[in-house]
Amino acid sequence: MDLRVDRLATLYLVNPVLRRSSPPAGSIPILMYHSISNDAESGVRAYYRTSTAPAVFASHMNDLHEQHYRTVNLAEAARALQNGGATEKLAVITFDDGYADFIDHAMPAMSRYGFTATIFLPTAFIGQEARQFKGKDCLTWAQVRELQKSGIDFGSHTINHPQLSTLDPSAVAQEVSQSKRTIENELSRAVESFAYPFAFPEQKASFVESLREVLVESGYRQGVCTRIGTARPKEDPYFLRRLPMNSLDDAALFNAKLRGGYDWLYSLQSASKKVKSYVQ
């Protein structure tokens, strides 16, 4: 059994302190899901898993409802954060990679409570017929359009889902801008949200600055990445933090994440990236 040090520290060290205080003022939990399926992900350590079992996802949605959260799309959350923070219990539900299992397993659970979501699409894997990414079926453009009619918002997750920091500037610009245009052409509406694929290279300050410039020039207004934690007021709206979710997020850990109990891991995550950059 994979020992989850992050869970133990969150529930038995950090969360007891938070119970005697309040969550970070004005912060918004942005939940990061990928596939909603019973994929066991054998051989993958707990922290790095990206599949969430349908029953676990349904439990998460019920917990959000029970705690009186209102879900909003990323654009509304970003505006609230830039205006000083949320004044009510807001949450954003996001899905990376555009997997088709969203329709059968995520949408019904969210619809039960009137929840919405933002899905980030890697456009090379979204076609008129079903295409696969990492061995799983992705949404088709027809399905994307139907979901849009149901209130689901869509953003870009690049074209090919590369680690952008390894590409030359022209390729980065292509991945960022062309994916946006493709989604806009298919949906006949503006696309303003972007999700960075893979681990976010915040230790590469010059790259992050140049990427931000490309996002602005391409017409994006907000974005998310894999930096861990609840999104805080006044932080950079193009690289908002998120809370990773998978099948092993039981009710205790899920609720601790909502109230900021998992945010401590960001400092460790950031320090680890800096150390690796010095070693390389």
Domains of the chain (ranges, CATH numbers): 5-14+26-279 (3.20.20.370)
| Nearest in space to 93 (alpha carbons), one of 33, 40, 137, 41 | 33
Q: What share of the chain is helix, strand, coil (3-state, %, to 5)?
A: 45, 20, 40
Strands 153-156 and 136-137, sheet pairing: unpaired
Here the tokens at position 203 are 């230790």
| Phi-psi category of residue 198: left, alpha or beta, with phi > 0 → left and psi -120 to 50 → alpha | left
Band of residue 266 on the pLDDT scale cut at 50, 70, 90: confident
Residues 6+ apart with CB under 8 A from 74: 30, 92, 94, 118, 153, 155, 193, 222, 224, 240
The pLDDT assigned to 10 comes to 85
Report the pLDDT averaged over residues 105-118.
98
What average pLDDT score do residues 23-52 get? 92
Q: At what angle do helices 141-149 and 169-187 cross, to 10 degrees?
A: 60
pLDDT for residue 136 is more than 80: yes
- Between residues 193 and 234, the one the model is more confident about: 193
pTM given for the model: 0.92
Residue 70, pLDDT score: 98
pLDDT score recorded for residue 247: 96
pLDDT surpasses 80 at 164: yes
Whether 67 shows a pLDDT value over 80: the answer reads: yes
Would you state the pLDDT for residue 1? 44
The pairing of strands 136-137 and 132-133 is antiparallel
Cα 136 from Cα 124, distance rounded (Å)? 14
What was the pLDDT predicted at 86? 95
pLDDT tens digits, residue range 144-155? 999 999 999 999
Apex 242 CA angle, 237 and 246, nearest 5: 160
- Mean pLDDT (the chain, rounded): 92
Q: Please provide residue 194's backbone torsions phi and psi, each rounded to the nearest 5 degrees.
A: -135, 140
